[in-house]
Protein backbone atom coordinates (compact mmCIF):
# COMPACT_ATOMS: atom_id res chain seq x y z
CA UNK A 1 0.00 0.00 0.00
CA UNK A 2 1.60 3.24 -1.07
CA UNK A 3 -0.85 5.42 0.85
CA UNK A 4 -1.96 5.31 4.49
CA UNK A 5 -5.61 4.51 5.04
CA UNK A 6 -7.96 6.13 5.53
CA UNK A 7 -6.42 8.80 3.29
CA UNK A 8 -6.04 12.43 4.33
CA UNK A 9 -8.90 13.26 1.98
CA UNK A 10 -11.18 10.77 3.72
CA UNK A 11 -10.24 11.96 7.21
CA UNK A 12 -10.93 15.56 6.23
CA UNK A 13 -14.19 14.61 4.52
CA UNK A 14 -15.56 12.77 7.56
CA UNK A 15 -14.47 15.58 9.88
CA UNK A 16 -16.20 18.14 7.69
CA UNK A 17 -19.32 16.01 7.51
CA UNK A 18 -19.44 15.86 11.31
CA UNK A 19 -18.81 19.61 11.76
CA UNK A 20 -21.23 20.81 9.11
CA UNK A 21 -23.86 18.08 9.11
CA UNK A 22 -23.96 17.16 12.77
CA UNK A 23 -22.58 19.92 14.98
CA UNK A 24 -23.47 23.11 13.07
CA UNK A 25 -27.28 22.64 13.17
CA UNK A 26 -27.07 22.51 16.99
CA UNK A 27 -25.24 25.84 17.34
CA UNK A 28 -26.34 29.42 16.95
CA UNK A 29 -24.98 32.97 16.94
CA UNK A 30 -21.23 33.49 17.19
CA UNK A 31 -20.52 29.78 17.75
CA UNK A 32 -22.37 28.77 14.57
CA UNK A 33 -20.63 31.53 12.62
CA UNK A 34 -17.15 30.57 13.83
CA UNK A 35 -17.76 26.87 13.30
CA UNK A 36 -18.86 27.54 9.73
CA UNK A 37 -15.69 29.55 9.12
CA UNK A 38 -13.54 26.86 10.73
CA UNK A 39 -15.15 24.19 8.53
CA UNK A 40 -14.47 26.38 5.50
CA UNK A 41 -10.82 26.61 6.58
CA UNK A 42 -10.55 22.82 6.76
CA UNK A 43 -12.24 22.53 3.37
CA UNK A 44 -9.70 24.98 1.94
CA UNK A 45 -6.85 22.87 3.30
CA UNK A 46 -8.49 19.82 1.74
CA UNK A 47 -8.51 21.55 -1.67
CA UNK A 48 -4.94 22.72 -1.23
CA UNK A 49 -3.82 19.12 -0.56
CA UNK A 50 -5.75 17.99 -3.63
CA UNK A 51 -4.81 20.78 -6.07
CA UNK A 52 -1.78 22.53 -4.58
CA UNK A 53 1.01 20.54 -6.24
CA UNK A 54 -0.42 20.85 -9.73
CA UNK A 55 -1.10 24.55 -9.21
CA UNK A 56 2.47 25.10 -8.12
CA UNK A 57 4.08 23.31 -11.03
CA UNK A 58 1.81 25.10 -13.52
CA UNK A 59 2.73 28.41 -11.93
CA UNK A 60 6.41 27.52 -12.19
CA UNK A 61 6.07 26.65 -15.89
CA UNK A 62 4.26 29.94 -16.61
CA UNK A 63 6.86 31.95 -14.70
CA UNK A 64 9.67 30.44 -16.75
CA UNK A 65 7.85 31.31 -19.97
CA UNK A 66 6.92 34.86 -18.85
CA UNK A 67 10.42 35.72 -17.65
CA UNK A 68 12.38 33.70 -20.23
CA UNK A 69 14.61 32.25 -17.55
CA UNK A 70 14.83 29.10 -15.41
CA UNK A 71 15.05 29.19 -11.64
CA UNK A 72 13.55 28.42 -8.28
CA UNK A 73 9.83 29.31 -8.09
CA UNK A 74 10.25 31.77 -5.22
CA UNK A 75 13.08 33.53 -7.05
CA UNK A 76 11.01 33.74 -10.24
CA UNK A 77 7.98 35.05 -8.34
CA UNK A 78 10.15 37.77 -6.86
CA UNK A 79 11.57 38.57 -10.30
CA UNK A 80 8.05 38.88 -11.74
CA UNK A 81 7.10 41.23 -8.90
CA UNK A 82 10.14 43.42 -9.56
CA UNK A 83 9.54 43.52 -13.28
CA UNK A 84 5.85 44.43 -12.94
CA UNK A 85 6.68 47.13 -10.39
CA UNK A 86 9.27 48.82 -12.57
CA UNK A 87 8.06 48.30 -16.14
CA UNK A 88 4.50 49.47 -16.97
CA UNK A 89 4.61 47.73 -20.40
CA UNK A 90 5.57 44.29 -19.08
CA UNK A 91 1.95 43.44 -18.27
CA UNK A 92 1.00 43.88 -21.97
CA UNK A 93 2.86 40.68 -22.95
CA UNK A 94 0.48 37.73 -23.49
CA UNK A 95 2.73 35.27 -21.65
CA UNK A 96 2.85 37.60 -18.63
CA UNK A 97 -0.91 38.03 -18.69
CA UNK A 98 -1.31 34.28 -18.79
CA UNK A 99 1.11 33.83 -15.89
CA UNK A 100 -0.87 36.30 -13.80
CA UNK A 101 -4.38 35.25 -14.70
CA UNK A 102 -4.11 31.47 -14.77
CA UNK A 103 -2.08 31.43 -11.55
CA UNK A 104 -4.65 33.57 -9.74
CA UNK A 105 -7.47 31.37 -11.04
CA UNK A 106 -5.65 28.21 -9.87
CA UNK A 107 -5.27 29.82 -6.47
CA UNK A 108 -8.96 30.76 -6.37
CA UNK A 109 -9.85 27.16 -7.21
CA UNK A 110 -8.22 26.31 -3.89
CA UNK A 111 -9.12 29.34 -1.81
CA UNK A 112 -12.50 30.68 -2.99
CA UNK A 113 -14.02 28.52 -5.75
CA UNK A 114 -17.47 30.08 -5.27
CA UNK A 115 -16.26 33.67 -5.77
CA UNK A 116 -18.16 35.52 -8.53
CA UNK A 117 -14.96 36.60 -10.29
CA UNK A 118 -13.75 32.99 -10.39
CA UNK A 119 -17.09 31.62 -11.59
CA UNK A 120 -17.20 34.25 -14.36
CA UNK A 121 -13.80 33.07 -15.61
CA UNK A 122 -14.01 29.31 -15.08
CA UNK A 123 -17.51 28.55 -13.86
Partner 1 sequence: MTEGSGKVAAADAGAGGIAEALAPIVLRGGLGSIVQGSLKRLTAGASQQSWVFCTRADGGERGFVLRRMPEGAALLDGAVGPEREAAAIIAAGDAGVPVPTIRHVLAPGDGLGRGFISDRVEGETIPRKILRDEAFAALRPRLADECGSILARLHGTDIAGLDLPYVPPRAKLERLRGLYRRLGVRRPVFEAAFRWLEDHMPAYDPARPPALVHGDFRLGNLIVTPDGVSAVLDWEMAHIGDPVEDLGWLTVNSWRFGNRSLAVGGFGREEQMLSAYAAAGGDMVPRGAITFWRIFGSLNWGIGCFEMSLPTVEAELPTVERAMIGRRASETEIDILDELLELVA
Query: Where along the sequence are the contacts to partner 1 (CB under 8 A)?
Result: 29-31, 33-34, 37-38, 40-41, 44, 77-78, 80-82, 84-88, 91-92, 97, 99-101, 103-105, 107-108, 111-112, 115-118, 120-121
Q: CB of 55 within 8 A of CB of 99? A: no
Q: How far is the CB of 30 from partner 1 (least distance, A)?
A: 4
Q: How far is the CB of 77 from partner 1 (least distance, A)?
A: 7
Q: How far is the CB of 123 from partner 1 (least distance, A)?
A: 11
Helix (H) or strand (E) holding 105: helix 94-111
Question: Which among 12, 18, 4 is positioned nearest to 45, based on CA atoms?
Answer: 12
Query: Helices (DSSP H) in 17-93: which residue ranges?
Result: 29-67, 73-86
Amino acid sequence: MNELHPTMATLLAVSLEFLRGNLLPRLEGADAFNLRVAANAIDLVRRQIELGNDARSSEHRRLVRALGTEGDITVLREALCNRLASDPDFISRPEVQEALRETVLDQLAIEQPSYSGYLAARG
